Amino acid sequence: MDVHIYYAKVCGLCTEAIDFLHKRGVTFTAFAVEYDAEADAFTDSENTREMYRRCGGPVDFVPQIFIGERHIGGWRKLEPMIKSGEIDELLPEGA
């Protein structure tokens, strides 16, 4: 099962999510998106367009995490799943 994360370098919660995946030994693919603070929007790029497509439309925050086809919209959704153990059921075997 593929794990994908869309992240921005300026996002501290993205770093938290990526660190969690690394600590769990999860193999994942990370897709960088750029945030333009002046425009208060993500810059147009292939990764941004794909993130929007997978999320079902524009989103205004990252990380956007996909475990298989399951969409987890950000650290604030991921953190309770970690605490409850729900994430353990979703992550690939051996992760």
What pLDDT digit, counting tens, does each position of 14-55 carry? 999 999 999 999 999 999 999 998 999 999 999 999 999 999
Alpha helices in the chain (DSSP H): 12-24, 46-55, 75-84, 86-90
Evaluate whether 47 touches 32 at the Cβ level (below 8 Å): yes
Tell me the pLDDT tens digit for each residue of 60-91: 999 999 999 999 999 999 999 999 999 989 98
Considering the entire predicted model, what is its pTM?
0.92
Evaluate whether 19 touches 13 at the Cβ level (below 8 Å): no
* Cα atoms in the Cβ-side hemisphere of radius 13 Å centred on 34: 7
- Position 93 scores a pLDDT of 64
Task: List domains and CATH numbers for the chain.
Answer: 3-90 (3.40.30.10)
